């Protein structure tokens, strides 16, 4: 197994991990798998956890027999639907076509839960007792059978928790929890932020840890992702579902907004208490506080090193105010990515980026995704599709160098060159004066050399003063 595979979820189902269970109704249930436990799927039955531990992901299992045994379920292959003369014209959707009473249908369900009847037998009885089934078109018959399978089939599929499956699960079940982030938007964010192994990334994640989990998975145990959070603890619920190993988890660091800087009254527990004076119970609390303090100090030091390779913001708070605080910690030529549930929420951020000389080429984008049904003779976009998946705005952090600063730097080099030449001329003149005989003070030419020397000295001093100015 490669290093990338070991950094994520193993290829077989393991105990004490989280598993996504996809049921016939297409609903997905997230469960913690415990050895020796029984997993209930409601009306679809139950199974023993030990029956799937150690098996491969993605197999579909059928619950059969009264002992809730499992076997691999093999769905029927797609067949070309034969056209018939049926046209649904004589069908009245008033419930009168079903000859079985409601009590009889409930009895069939009960027999199915007990294992006395298989789902195929129940569906076959419903088809035979439906007076209008033979009058339906082939497409309507297939649709009818599919609908009944979703209600009565006792099958399930264990799905590996990955970024895609978890993002899709939360988007369909509770989109507000991840601020309406869709799978394609998350993929674009990772690409635009240039997330790669060995990088160091600063993140503001209010999406239950979705962004932090995505970055940690791409780092694969090599690099650092520092998440800033609001409150007393980071609420990264999605992290536990990812089943990361210790190597990947060690790359995730967290720091509260309130503890970005050490307070005047904030002291180490070692400065406040002497471990030798504590009893066993007090010593345990002391060690916990000391460990938490050292972790906070280490994460604070990582932040103020200001060596991050990217800044990713997906927060409920105002993005420009966050950029004002955190832009200083990002290296030059590094990407900045900001997410919002709607593109209108990024208009102010776009204006801020355009006016900030440290941010280059801001670009606002919004993707659109639509699912399609792909079946023989029935391929078309689905009637009900997703709404917005969020919007992104990106920019590149640059080191601001105004024109005045650039010219001043050039002038400083010119000044240093002129000063060096002046010192060289002065040294040569002093050497030549030392080698020549001393002049006669009574001579009529006495003032000439001294005056020339004084004039030269004044000229070099004036040059130095001008260059300094």
User: Which pLDDT tens digit goes with each residue over 106-154?
Assistant: 788 777 766 667 777 888 888 888 877 777 877 787 888 888 888 878 8
48-52, 242-246, 427-431: which has the minimum mean pLDDT? 427-431
**Three-state SS letters, 69-94:** EEEECCCCCCCCCCCCCCCCCCCCCC
What is the domain partition of the chain in residue ranges? 10-75, 102-153, 163-260+309-397, 403-436+446-468
- In this prediction, residue 465 carries a pLDDT of 42
Amino acid 288: pLDDT: 83
**SS3 call for 462:** helix
Strand-pair category, 69-72 with 224-229: unpaired
How far apart (Å, rounded) are the C-alpha atoms in residues 336 and 216? 18
- Residue range 10-75 forms a domain whose CATH class is alpha beta
pLDDT band at 78 (very low <50, low <70, confident <90, very high): low
Going by C-alpha positions, the residue among 171, 173, 221, 230 that lies closest to residue 199 is: 221
The pLDDT tens digits for 402-418 are 655 555 666 777 878 88
Q: Is 370 helix (H, G, I), strand (E, B) or coil?
A: coil
Percent of the chain at pLDDT above 90? 43
> Which CATH architecture does the domain made up of 163-260+309-397 adopt?
3-Layer(aba) Sandwich (3.40)
Express the helix, strand and coil content of the chain in percent, nearest 5 each. Answer: 45, 20, 35
Q: Are 117 and 109 in contact (CB under 8 A)?
A: no
- Picking from 217-221, 290-294, 343-347, 432-436, which range would have the lowest pLDDT averaged per residue? 432-436
Q: Phi/psi of residue 304, each to 5°?
A: -80, -5
Q: What percent of the chain has pLDDT over 70?
A: 81
Average confidence (pLDDT) over 19-23: 93
* pLDDT score for 90: 67
Out of 89-98, 210-219, 278-287, least confident range:
89-98
Closest listed residue to residue 137, CA positions, set 92, 200, 89, 171: 89
Yes or no: say if 63 and 45 are a contact pair by the CB < 8 Å rule.
yes
**Token output for 31:** 């469960």
- Evaluate if residue 354 carries a pLDDT over 90: yes
Here the contacts of 30-33 (C-beta below 8 Å, separation 24 or greater) are 30/161, 30/169, 30/241
Q: Is the pLDDT of residue 351 over 90?
A: yes
Query: Identical fold at 10-75 and 163-260+309-397?
Result: no
Task: Output the CA–CA distances (angstroms, integers) from residue 332 to 59, 163, 251, 328, 329, in the order listed.
Answer: 47, 29, 23, 10, 10
The predicted model scores a pTM of 0.75
Nearest to 190 by CA among 213, 173, 166, 162: 213
Spatial CB neighbours of 414, under 8 Å, sequence gap ≥ 6: 467
Most confident range, picked from 5-14, 142-151, 173-182, 185-194: 185-194
pLDDT digits (tens, 9 = 90+) for 116-126: 677 778 888 88
Q: What is the pLDDT of residues 306-338, one digit of tens each?
A: 899 999 999 999 999 999 999 999 999 999 999
**pLDDT of 28 higher than 80:** yes
- Region of poorest pLDDT, from 143-147, 274-278, 305-309, 463-467: 463-467
Which of 383, 338, 344 shows the shortest CA–CA distance to 362?
A: 338
């Amino acid at each position: 197994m490669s290093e990338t595979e070991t950094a994520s979820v193993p290829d077989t189902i393991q105990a004490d991990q989280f598993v996504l269970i996809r049921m016939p109704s297409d609903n997905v249930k997230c469960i913690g798998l415990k050895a020796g436990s029984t997993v209930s799927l409601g009306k679809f039955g139950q199974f023993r956890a030990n029956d799937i531990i150690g098996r491969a992901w993605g197999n579909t299992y059928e619950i059969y027999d009264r002992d809730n045994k499992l076997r691999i379920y093999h769905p029927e292959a797609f067949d070309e639907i034969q056209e018939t003369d049926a046209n649904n014209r004589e069908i009245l959707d008033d419930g009168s076509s079903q000859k079985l009473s409601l009590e009889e249908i409930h009895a069939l369900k009960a027999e199915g839960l007990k294992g006395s009847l298989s789902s195929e037998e129940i569906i076959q009885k419903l088809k035979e007792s439906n007076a209008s089934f033979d009058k339906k078109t082939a497409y309507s018959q297939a649709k009818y059978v599919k609908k009944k399978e979703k209600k009565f089939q006792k099958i399930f599929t264990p799905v590996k928790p990955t970024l895609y499956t978890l993002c899709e699960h939360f988007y369909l079940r509770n989109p507000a929890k991840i601020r309406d982030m869709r799978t394609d938007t998350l993929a674009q964010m990772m690409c635009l932020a240039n997330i790669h192994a060995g990088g160091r990334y600063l993140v503001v994640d209010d999406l239950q840890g979705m962004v932090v989990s995505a970055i940690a998975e791409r780092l694969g145990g090599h690099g650092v992702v520092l998440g800033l959070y609001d409150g007393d603890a980071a609420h990264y619920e999605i992290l536990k579902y990812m089943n990361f190993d210790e190597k990947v988890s060690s790359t995730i660091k967290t720091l509260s907004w309130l503890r970005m800087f050490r307070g005047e009254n904030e002291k180490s527990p070692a400065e406040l208490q002497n471990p030798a004076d504590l009893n066993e119970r007090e010593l345990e609390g002391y060690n916990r506080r000391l460990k938490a303090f050292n972790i906070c100090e280490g994460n604070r030091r990582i932040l103020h090193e200001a060596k991050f390779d990217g800044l990713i913001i997906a927060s409920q708070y105002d993005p420009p105010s966050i950029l004002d605080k955190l832009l200083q910690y990002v290296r030059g030529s590094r990407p900045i990515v900001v997410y919002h549930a709607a593109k209108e929420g990024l208009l102010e951020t776009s204006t801020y980026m355009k006016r900030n000389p440290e941010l280059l080429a801001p670009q606002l984008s919004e993707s659109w995704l639509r699912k399609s049904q792909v079946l023989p003779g029935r391929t078309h976009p689905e009637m009900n599709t997703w709404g917005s998946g969020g919007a992104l705005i990106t920019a590149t952090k640059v080191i601001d160098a105004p024109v005045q600063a650039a010219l001043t730097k050039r002038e400083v080099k010119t000044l240093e060159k002129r000063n060096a030449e002046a010192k060289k001329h002065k040294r040569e003149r002093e050497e030549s004066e030392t080698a020549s005989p001393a002049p006669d003070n009574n001579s009529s030419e006495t003032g000439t050399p001294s005056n020339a020397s004084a004039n030269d000295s004044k000229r070099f001093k004036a040059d130095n003063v001008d260059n300094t100015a």
